[in-house]
Amino acid sequence: MMKKIEEKAEVLIRKYNMIGEDDVVVAGVSGGADSVCLLFVLCRLSEKYHFSVKACHVNHGLRGADADEDERFVEELCREWNVPCRVFHENVELIARKRKQSTEEAGRTARRKAFETMCREDGGTKIAAAHHCNDNAETMLLNIARGTGLAGLCGIRPVCGRWIRPLLGVSREEIVSALTEAGIPWREDLSNAEDIYTRNRIRHNIIPLLCSQVNPETVEHLSRLSRQAAEVWDYVMQGVETAWSRCVTVCGESASALEIRKDEFEKETPAIRNQLIHRCICEAAGMNRDVEAVHVSAVTDLFGRQTGRKLCLPYGVTAYRVYGGVRLKKEADSEPFRGAGTGRSSETTGATETVLKIPGEVSVPGRTWRISCRVYERKEADNGETRLPQKSYTKCFDYDIIKHTVSVRNRRPGDYLVIGKNGNRQKLKSYFVNEKVPSGERGNLLLIADGSHIMWIPGMRMSARYQITGDTKRILEIKITEDEKNGRESQSSDPGGRSGSENQRTGGENQ
């Protein structure tokens, strides 16, 4: 049985050119079945392909004596197999508190840091993780459930930079059977049996149900789909590269300011357009996380708006409708961005922000709110085809005077609204004081905002600036409802990176 796993790993290594002669492979070894199998296979293949293997073990300091036993087990196993081993001790719980992360995310960060340290200090050239095809299936289902594009269907990549995954063609069942047959011991992490983590619930409940009630080959079929999606994704990325050269002009020495030419852009297919805009936002921002479908859609819509219109995007990037198309520019004095549409906190204000989808519907992370938006012509209201509701949690606004991306967020310095028909501005802080809103409650109130202009304080009042008048041509209706469900879309352009490829388990076997 172990021979079969070796053969599958060898096929993958050769197909993707994972390991070359004289490579130094740093293998993450937690002591669990997956990582022990990985280490065994690498040791067996190292003589044939003339590479060396080193083991990296991270003690997360989360499981007390059990974690110490895992450490001793890995050290003893490596001595027995004559593999150099380096152990890292990290206080993951403390790291998570300091960085305001979950212990799962802090654990992944600690492991990556340890692997990179070994590459830097111990001559490592490749990092081997023990992800197998069940992990890949779990990742795909998790991405689909959270809301993903084509990138999320690619699942876990066999190779991503220096990271390699030789066991990606092997199932968890094959690994356990092979180790048992060969008499090779491993350690069981009891936290893997708990359903407190989303990935564990998929592993213990969803996949077994699909295999028993729908198709026993579910895992293999999902793996095949991920390979096909990856091939399509690579093809799309080639198209994006070509479209970039035709459609995009970088303004200045860096890509923090660039322009997308409308005439060339509109010749591309929708798939290429979406990914090109995604890349442009990321290039301008200098970041590729938290740029989501709603941002891509907002920039796409900007091509159809009047010259001079603009919208705010993550990381201080502003998109302007210019004569020749759309220009993206990162403002030099912009504040750090932490997840518009994701609910992550801003480092400077503690605020959260979710860009509204117009038209469409979004959930507000951390709340039970769902916010739906629709746009219709004024004549529909005049003809009686559409009523103009002005209830506490449904409001109508003059759509054509909105200047920026409309978002729901907490208050920020500089926020204001217009009081009365004379157009006088009032600072949001002054409004709260006048309305006797307790200071302890002000930071928790969610606001509908157009840049720094507060369009609406749900449950209280809306800015007079956006009221429907005789000159209004298009109306934006925003409706807030309560819903326990919450989700988000992602347009991650890194199908083999952090978001999709790393195991959620803090002490995970795929270390």
Residue 341 domain-assigned (yes or no): no
What are the structure tokens assigned to 126, written together?
């490749």
Q: Note whether residue 286 is domain-resident.
A: yes
Q: How far apart are CA 142 and CA 500, in angstroms?
A: 9
Torsion over CA: 117, 122, 123, 127 (sign): negative
| Type of residue at 87 | V
Instruction: Kindly state whether residues 55 and 162 are assigned to the same domain.
Output: yes
Tell me, yes or no, whether 258 and 203 share the same domain. Answer: no
Whether 404 is in a domain gets the answer: yes
Residues 322 and 456 in one domain: no
Instruction: Return all residues near 162 (Cβ < 8 A) that are at least 6 apart.
Output: 119, 125, 126, 127
Same domain, yes or no: 367 and 427: yes
CATH number for the domain that contains residue 408? 3.50.40.10
Per the domain annotation, does 487 fall within a domain?
no
Residues 363 and 304 in one domain: no
Q: Is 446 a domain residue?
A: yes
**What does the pLDDT look like over 108-142, one tens digit per residue?**
889 999 999 999 999 999 999 999 999 999 999 99
Q: What is the CATH number of the domain that holds 221?
A: 3.40.50.620
Residues 476 and 424 in one domain: yes
Same-domain status, 189 and 260: no
Tokens of 502: 């790393």
Cβ atoms within 10 Å of 332's Cβ, excluding its own: 7
Q: pLDDT value at position 346? A: 32
**How many other C-beta atoms are found inside a 10 Å radius of the C-beta of residue 381?**
17
Q: Which domain holds residue 138?
A: 2-231
Same domain, 325 and 365: no
Measured CA to CA, the distance from residue 105 to residue 103 in angstroms comes to 6
**Residue 108 has what pLDDT?**
87
Same domain, 40 and 160: yes
* 374, part of any domain: yes
Q: Does 492 reside within a domain?
A: no
Q: Are residues 222 and 273 in the same domain?
A: no
Tell me what pLDDT residue 334 has. 43
Which residue among 231, 262, 290 closes a domain?
Answer: 231
Total tally of structural domains belonging to the chain: 3
Q: What is the pLDDT of residue 216?
A: 93
Do 300 and 399 fall within a single domain? no
Rounded to whole angstroms, the Cα distance separating 237 from 226 reads 16
Instruction: Say if residue 58 is in the same domain as residue 184.
Output: yes
CA distance 86 to 118: 8
User: Which residues of the chain fall below pLDDT 70?
Assistant: 191-193, 196, 252-255, 332-352, 366, 381-392, 483-511
What is 412-479 written as a DSSP string?
A: -TT-EEEETTTTEEEEHHHHHHHTT--HHHHTT--EEEETTEEEEETTTEE-GGG---TT--EEEEEE
- Tell me, yes or no, whether 240 lies in a domain: no
pTM over 0.85: no
